[in-house]
Structure 1
């Protein structure tokens, strides 16, 4: 019985992209925790950061098992992902939790859709590193609390959320160019993913998420 074929370059590229995203998210959340208004909230964001670095280790371990250096798999995506975080640095706690709520959720929705094109164990690994719902619930509750305290905050955070999405889409174009088309091929693999339907679902989920937090799309 022949051994199964190793994952193709698109899978390695995707794991590298997700691993870098987790690493940068850890750095960002650990830094943003200093914006928290009290120690309880600071600890909550710190726990979220700890989960991110744990996810990074799992992804890096899988890449290593495939015979790929994690640094090499992540390298093509450093510039666009770092540019996204540099251009969307929050000014206060409300912007920090909005970034965690909006930016991370869009990424999770995308990865959940793309995971269907993967085989095991990589499919389950990608699904496993998605953010837990309790983190989104925490961020949404913080946004609603900020709006209740000062209703004018809703407009500012809604604009901030739209900027986050715009920057994410802009850098996504750079990611597609950086990966030389491998991820695009994975997204459109076979008939498993209808790209137009995919983006409609992502948009609908984002709109629903914004409303749930008291923000305008």
Structure 2
């Protein structure tokens, strides 16, 4: 027997969380693009930022269709997500692309997992706005090239990536529990109310991702 569809309150909560993530990602990527060592790479990251705003608009429009205010749906998560970005502001280009590769990917994994409980069209909308693989490929190529040019870079970026995932998981938990009972219940669906298996899967995927670019966990 298939699971009952998620309640509308949980759908609104999740769409609000994802919409805010897209909005803040735009702010961050647009700023990080200025760290690029050349115009080609600056343009690449700027294109990523532009895509975030397109995604934000789709989510905001859907929230409006559901009779919800996008501002109100996003507000409960602002403190946690802003704290993550404030505490993980990159100091240079390599930290910026590592954040794009590691931080965005683990956020996408988190959203992808809990979106499975949604009915259409909201499930597909959420999956559609997750980051395209070409952006991860771009960031991965930058990291690999930097390590090949100077193997010592791997240690620094590995430490940075560990910090990103630690902050990301911590803030994801805070955002999900930000006085939003419906979303918290959505996260626990399929896990008998226990979110720990979900976070273990996120950590395992992160470990595999690190190894793929030559970083250690």
Report how far residue 72 of structure 1 moved. Answer: 0.5
Aligned residue number for residue 23 of structure 1? 23
Report how far residue 196 of structure 1 moved. Answer: 3.6
Aligned residue number for residue 170 of structure 1? 170
Counterpart Cα distance in 2 of 1:150 and 1:69: 49
Report how far residue 201 of structure 1 moved. Answer: 2.1
Unaligned runs of 5+ in 1: none
Query: Given the alignment of the two structures, is residue 105 of structure 1 paired with residue 95 of structure 2, yes or no?
Result: no
- C-alpha offsets along residues 139-173 of structure 1, whole Å, 9 cap, x if unaligned? 00001111112111100000000001111122123
Report how far residue 179 of structure 1 moved. Answer: 3.5
Change (3 A) 1:212 1:190: closer
Aligned residue number for residue 138 of structure 1? 138
Query: Given the alignment of the two structures, is residue 161 of structure 1 paired with residue 161 of structure 2, yes or no?
Result: yes
The number of residues matched between the two structures is: 213
Aligned residue number for residue 51 of structure 2? 51
For the aligned residue pairs, the C-alpha RMSD in angstroms reads 1.8
* TM-score of the pair, normalised by structure 2: 0.93
Report how far residue 190 of structure 1 moved. Answer: 5.2
Change (3 A) 1:71 1:37: same
- C-alpha offsets along residues 18-73 of structure 1, whole Å, 9 cap, x if unaligned? 00000000010000000000000000001110111110000000001111110010
Aligned residue number for residue 211 of structure 2? 211
Counterpart Cα distance in 1 of 2:135 and 2:185: 32
Judge conservation of contact 2:26–2:49 (CA < 8 Å) in 1.
yes
* TM-score of the pair, normalised by structure 1: 0.93
Query: Given the alignment of the two structures, is residue 60 of structure 1 paired with residue 72 of structure 2, yes or no?
Result: no
Counterpart Cα distance in 2 of 1:201 and 1:143: 24
- C-alpha offsets along residues 160-196 of structure 1, whole Å, 9 cap, x if unaligned? 0000111112212321331332221011235698734
Aligned residue number for residue 41 of structure 2? 41
- The range that moved more, 86-95 or 181-190, is 181-190
Aligned residue number for residue 76 of structure 1? 76
Query: Given the alignment of the two structures, is residue 197 of structure 1 paired with residue 192 of structure 2, yes or no?
Result: no
